[in-house]
Amino acid sequence: MLPATFKLCAGISYRHTRNMTGLRRNAMMAIHHELSKLSGPGPSMWVRNIRRRSSLLCSRIEEETLSDSEQGYVRQGQEALQKSISILSDPDNWQTEIETSTGDKVLSKVLPDIGKVFRLEVVLNQQPDDLYEELVENMERMGEWNPNVKQVKILQKINQDTLVTHEVSGETPGNVVGPRDFVSVRCTKRRGSTCFLAGMSTQHPSMPEQKGFVRAENGPTCIVMRPSADDPNKTKFTWLLSLDLKMCNGIKENGGINGGSYLKSIPISVLKQNGLLQSLATGGDQTEADEVDSELERAQQEWDALESIQPVPVEDLAPSALISFNEALQHFQTTDLTELLRNIQPTVGRTGLAVVTHFLFGPPRLHKELMEERDLVFAIAQCSLDNTQPVHMRVLQTIYRKLTCTKADCPRYGPHWENIGFQGSDPATDLRGTGFLGLMHTLYLVMDPETLPLARDIFRLSQHPIQNFPFSVMSINMTRIVLHVLREEVLTKECNRRQQVVGVLNEFYVATFLHLYEVWRGQRKTISDSGYVLKDVELYAKKNPKQLLKRLHCYLQERRSRIGHRTSPDPLSHGNCSLGDGVSLTHSHRGKEGKMNFTGVCELPPEMEGEARLI
């Protein structure tokens, strides 16, 4: 069976057969069948990665055959996920309810349209895949280890990511929370090594309100599991909890005085050896003060007993001033880059007949007065991110704040960098191959008022539930393509015509990113297609540079026409970026910023083969 499986997979690797739905479905079934035999009790990392990719492809096939009601459930699940991510991404107004000496904590905040929500943050000594399997794949067994849940039943499985469940709460003596039941739509997502389990209340024809139970509401709720930044074998576990238990006195449980006033930690004895040490639940009897005190004391003791690593502290940083592309470029113009200039390769090395052919039939040579500017570009591409350089840090903070529309600086290290599409807690690790030039191009994109709306359009697409991709990593790949095009002298004619190099490269970077955006969005590409897409984009950029630049100018003109008027230039934009000797990088376009709906918490580390892979 295994050789046949690989033959089948090889068949769908050809582009003209990959879109044959029947063949793809058979391939996915064969892959899942073989993986279940190969995985054993502890699947290896490559098995897990193939499972994620095959699950994504299966979900794309299934969504084409969903009914209207099923699509409605899918939309509800995605809405719950987006709302939860939005709540978790907002750092403001969280109040600490419980915090242990090891750093585990329960936070709460009151939202106008939801009420009081709780946020549990803890590090567990298990890998995210193991927890995901217990919480998602073994969902109906939750009552075995959680005393607050009597039963969980899957009413309908919509697709690979969405299902409708019915949960019955356990009966606790003396608990004001009587028998309650919930009907919920659940949305499960994997973005790289990050796992999401989101949900919210819904209705289902097979489960009307039950006699003897009060139909409560929940949502949005969400569990986020990602590998710990300090130890990939441990899990950073974040749980957003929002409940309306429909109290008989009319006070909402999540928004009134009863709303989670008493939190207690329930040991999960059955799964303790697997790392799921605690479950958060509401309980307690308000009528007796001594019982309340004992409950709180016991809860505090159990939280203190949690075993986890100390999380990285969040730095309280004062906001720095945004930096323009002009200012960042001037920093490199005035910095001694002699050592870096010795290692650059500004053109493709040719020998023998290739030299003669290139001289006779190749592109024109770059003007001598532009060679220093070209070499500066390659030197910046050799420069790594330096924590001791204030300009480097300001560039990084500016990119984050412009994309996320936040005013405060963020810590230098942490999972928040995944929100804008880096692959881990340190953006420096993603700059291989392009160096600091990758950040300079992203800075140009977000600091020009004309291209900022495009940047946010691309960023919004990168957060799509199906078509998501790591924004910053993809941007770095655009810079990599631009460097290849410059080294192969494809842009020499345009640079000579405009008497500048940096300005041409900036526009060509934006044009290439625009081309990828239109292909990705128009052809409904996903991360599994990224290897082919990047290779095609690079080939197109090398063969059609004039068409790319022309398309960018048309796109910007169309946007200006829709807006109807221009805004005043941003004083922090890259306009009038002087390179000396009278050379100006003045950009001829100015526009109006578009509105962006930011959603965070995204990690999607690519694992592809081929020359045009994600860096």
How many secondary structure helices (H) and strands (E) does the chain include?
Answer: 19, 16
For residue 38, the model assigns a pLDDT of 54
At 342, list the tokens.
């010795």
Contact assessment for residue 572 and residue 491, using Cβ atoms and an 8 Å cutoff = no
Output the 3-class SS for 55-118. Answer: HHHHHHHHHHHCCHHHHHHHHHHHHHHHHHHHHHHCCCCCEEEEECCCCCEEEEEEECCCEEEE
Q: Report pLDDT digits (tens) over 34-60.
A: 655 554 555 555 555 555 555 544 544
Q: Residue 257: pLDDT band by 50, 70, 90 thresholds?
A: very low
Of residues 483, 472, 463, 499, the one with CA closest to residue 538: 483
Q: What stretches of 335-451 show up as alpha helix (H) in DSSP? A: 338-341, 353-361, 368-382, 390-404, 437-447
pLDDT score of 369:
93
Per DSSP, the three-state class of 383 is coil
pLDDT of amino acid 249: 38
281, two tokens: 């639940």
Of residues 382 and 179, the one with the higher pLDDT is 382
45-62 vs 21-39: helix crossing angle, rounded to 10:
150
Q: Locate tokens 């039963």: which residue?
A: 151
Residue-wise pLDDT for 452-491, tens only, equals 999 999 999 999 989 999 999 999 999 999 999 999 889 9
Average pLDDT of every residue of the chain:
74
Q: State the residue for tokens 């309980």.
A: 283
**Type of residue numbered 446:** V
Residue 377 has pLDDT above 80, yes or no: yes
H helical segments located in 523-544: 530-543
pLDDT at 90: 84
CB contact set of 356 (below 8 Å; sequence gap of 6+): none
CA-based torsion, 162, 163, 164, 168: positive or negative: negative
- The conformation of residue 160, written as its DSSP 8-state character, comes to S
Contact call for residues 47 and 129 (beta carbons, < 8 A): no
Q: Are 192 and 423 in contact (CB under 8 A)?
A: yes
CA dihedral for 440, 443, 449, 451, sign (positive or negative): positive
Given a cut of 80, whether residue 607 has pLDDT beyond it is no
Q: Which residue has the higher pLDDT, 488 or 190?
A: 488
- Indicate if the pLDDT at residue 80 is higher than 80: yes
Tell me how far CA of residue 122 lies from CA of 105, 146, 196, 306, 423, in angstroms. Answer: 7, 18, 15, 9, 21
Distance of CA 580 to the CA centre of its chain: 40
Residue 596 CB burial class (10 angstroms; 0-12, 13-18, ≥19): middle
Q: Which helix (H) or strand (E) holds 244?
A: strand 243-244
CA 89 – CA 232 distance, rounded (Å): 22
Residue 536 has pLDDT above 90, yes or no: yes
Confidence of residue 315 (pLDDT cuts 50, 70, 90): very low
**Closest to 421 (Cα-Cα) out of 394, 391, 455, 389:** 455
Locate 339 and state its tokens: 């050592």
Q: Read off φ and ψ for residue 578, nearest 5 degrees.
A: -80, 135
Cβ atoms of 80 and 220 closer than 8 Å: yes
The whole-number pLDDT of residue 356 equals 59
Res 83: pLDDT: 87
> What's the Cα-to-Cα distance from 100 to each of 106, 200, 267, rounded to whole Å?
9, 29, 16
Res 42: pLDDT: 52
Beta strand 243-244 pairing with 263-267: unpaired
Residue of 584, 367, 606 whose CA lies nearest to 496: 367
Taking the CB of residue 14, how many other CB atoms lie within 10 A of it? 8
> What pLDDT shows up at residue 285?
37
431-434: Cβ within 8 A, 24+ apart: 431/384, 431/385, 431/476, 432/615, 433/476, 433/480, 433/615, 434/381, 434/476, 434/479, 434/480, 434/483, 434/615
- Cβ(481)–Cβ(513) below 8 Å: no
Looking at residue 580, its pLDDT comes to: 35
pLDDT band at 146 (very low <50, low <70, confident <90, very high): confident
Residue 487 phi/psi, 5° resolution?
Answer: -65, -35
pLDDT in tens, 193-225: 788 889 998 998 998 888 777 888 877 899 998
363: phi then psi, degrees, rounded to nearest 5: -70, 165
pLDDT reading at 25 higher than 70: no
Say if residues 141 and 349 touch (Cβ distance below 8 Å). no
Across 540-614, the runs of DSSP E, i.e. the strands, are 578-580, 583-584
Helix axes 502-522, 437-447, angle to 10 degrees: 80
Looking up tokens 């990705």 gives 520
Average pLDDT over every residue of 361-375: 86
Q: Which runs of consecutive H residues, i.e. helices, occur in 187-264?
A: none
Among 25-34, 187-196, 264-273, the range scoring the smallest mean pLDDT is 264-273
pLDDT at 231: 82
- Rounded to 5 degrees, φ, ψ at 151 are -155, 140
Report percent pLDDT > 90 for the chain: 32
Q: Which residues of 19-35 are buried (b: 16+ CB within 10 A; e: fewer)?
A: eeeeebeebbebbeebb
Model pTM score: 0.46
Residue 354 pLDDT level (bands cut at 50, 70, 90): low
Return the structure tokens found at 113.
């349209």
* 576: enclosing H helix or E strand: none
Question: By CB neighbour count within 10 A (0-12 exposed, 13-18 middle, 19+ buried), where does 227 fall?
Answer: buried
In this model, does residue 81 exceed pLDDT 80? yes
Structural domains in the chain, sorted by start: 2-65 (no CATH), 69-304 (3.30.530.20), 325-584 (no CATH)
Percentage of the chain modeled with pLDDT above 70? 65
Dump pLDDT digits (tens) for 398-426.
Answer: 999 999 998 889 999 999 999 999 988 89
DSSP β-bridge partners for residue 187 = 162, 198
